[in-house]
Structure 1
Amino acid sequence: MTLQLRVYVPEHPLIQHWLGVARDRHTPSVLFKSAMTELGRWLTYEASRQWLLTGETTVETPLAECPATLIMPDSPMMIVPILRAGLSLLDGAQTLLPLASTYHVGLVRDEETLEASCYLNKLPDQISPQTRILILDPMLATGGSMLTVLEELTKRGADTSLMRIISVVAAHVALQKLSQAYPSLTIYTAAIDEHLNDVGYIVPGLGDAGDRAFGT
């Protein structure tokens, strides 16, 4: 069976509202950061709908026993925010996945070559192939940063079919690269924009998500 990259653009009104707030150049930093937190929350909600492992059990209400479905506590789960912009989505994701371990990866882009280099890697040496991994990166522009992180994850044993990527805006060029390299991936994004400008920024996009979130 041929694998095909799956990209979901949820139509939830709250996702579209907070995307509009984040795109607006007049949105102040504090509100932009709130918008990113909400987008992290609602996109993670959509991504986890058919992704979390659950088990059937029985609980006692104040009146009687009844069947219940609960998330399995022993199911390994990781959140990987790509620094620095990925931190803006982290609070929203963690509120829904409080039992997940968080591992940071820091990348910086060379503004001339547009290539990403790693300055921080806190990933574990080995990752169980059963681990569900949520990767946070607001902007999928050239795809270079995400490819770097995926390489680090897979060489440690992670299974890309159990990964979910959360982004706010994705460009076609990044999606094409990811599809060719890792077709079993699943991506949740609030929008897909048409093209990049000559310095690799998504147009219309929302600017530099890290700078806007942290007021720099």
Structure 2
Amino acid sequence: MEIHHLLEQHSIASKFIAELRDINIQKDQMRFRRNIERLGEILAFELSKSLTYKEKSITTPLGKAITYELNEQIVICSILRAGLPLHNGILSYFDTAENTFISAYRHHISEKEFEIKVEYLASPSLEGKTVILADPMLATGGSFVNVFEALKPMGTPAKIHLVSIIGARPGVDFVSRHFPRDTHLWIATIDEDLNDLGYIVPGLGDAGDLSYGTKLQH
């Protein structure tokens, strides 16, 4: 898997990530969601440089101009619910993309043990298309892998891109082992550790709760 680590080079993305992490700023749910969305836009722009394009002639008020348009069928798949702001950011750049929505959540067996459950899927055919699989937090990597398995009946994509905001090194290694070798991971920053509960350290907490409010565990 090819990893594109955004913060290996300084950019304004650092500001948005800092605000996502900050326990005082992240209390503003609207700003938290908007920062995820903005990072989705930045990651989508970087990802767009790796795609294929075809030449197109268009008519302007003063003549003809040669332009280039995307030559791939894009499907954006977000993992509910934390993936929604990230999905919106990516969709604002790939505005003609098809869309897939899938649920993946932690079902807690005990205080420190959980399994990833997938219970909802709405998707077009993925056969021969470029799939962008989006989840803001890449912790253990279990959500990405389980969702990838759940999507297989929808067809075989031509290309797979994973998009995430913050990852943990163990999770990045895990998805590297379970996705095709030509998969691309576009990630803003990578932390080194997970705690005993499977959360990224230092991370930012629970992105879904911070975006949309706390939930009952089940």
TM-score (norm 2): 0.88
2:16 aligns with one of 15, 18, 21: 18
Q: Where does residue 67 of structure 2 map in the other structure?
A: 68
Q: Where does residue 171 of structure 2 map in the other structure?
A: 174
Q: Is the 8 A contact 2:75 2:126 kept in 1?
A: no
Unaligned runs of 5+ in 1: none
Residue identity in the other structure for 1:204? P
Q: Where does residue 6 of structure 1 map in the other structure?
A: 2
Residue identity in the other structure for 1:106? S
Q: Is the 8 A contact 1:88 1:210 kept in 2?
A: no
**Percent identity over the alignment?**
31
5 Å-filtered alignment, 1:125-140, equals 126-128=125-127, 130-140=128-138
**How large is the RMSD of aligned CA atoms in angstroms?**
1.6
Q: Is the 8 A contact 2:137 2:164 kept in 1?
A: yes
5 Å-filtered alignment, 1:68-147, equals 68-72=67-71, 75-111=72-108, 112=110, 113-124=113-124, 126-128=125-127, 130-147=128-145
Count of residues paired in the alignment: 206
Residue identity in the other structure for 1:105? I
Shift of 1:78: 0.6
Q: Distance in 1 between matches of 2:184 and 2:175?
A: 10
Residue identity in the other structure for 1:109? R
Q: Is the 8 A contact 1:56 1:67 kept in 2?
A: yes
Shift of 1:62: 1.9
Shift of 1:196: 0.3
Shift of 1:150: 1.0
SS of the residue 1:103 aligns to: strand
Unaligned runs of 5+ in 2: none
Q: Is the 8 A contact 2:5 2:188 kept in 1?
A: yes
Shift of 1:171: 0.9
Shift of 1:12: 5.4
Q: Distance in 1 between matches of 2:45 and 2:85?
A: 16
Q: Is the 8 A contact 1:81 1:137 kept in 2?
A: yes
Deviation per CA, 1:26-65, whole angstroms, max 9, x where unpaired?
11212111111111111111112112x3211222222222
CA pair 12-154 structure 1, distance change in 2 beyond 3 A? farther
Matched, 1:37 2:41: no
Q: Where does residue 196 of structure 2 map in the other structure?
A: 198
1:208 aligns with one of 202, 206, 209: 206
Q: Distance in 2 between matches of 1:119 and 1:176?
A: 25
Q: Distance in 1 between matches of 2:171 and 2:93?
A: 27
Residue identity in the other structure for 2:62? L
Q: Distance in 1 between matches of 2:122 and 2:13?
A: 30
Q: Is the 8 A contact 2:118 2:147 kept in 1?
A: no
Shift of 1:213: 0.8
Shift of 1:76: 2.1
TM-score (norm 1): 0.89
Q: Distance in 2 between matches of 1:12 and 1:164?
A: 22
Residue identity in the other structure for 2:147? V
5 Å-filtered alignment, 1:147-162, equals 147-159=145-157, 162=159
Q: Distance in 1 between matches of 2:207 and 2:12?
A: 19
Q: Where does residue 57 of structure 2 map in the other structure?
A: 58
Q: Is the 8 A contact 2:118 2:150 kept in 1?
A: no
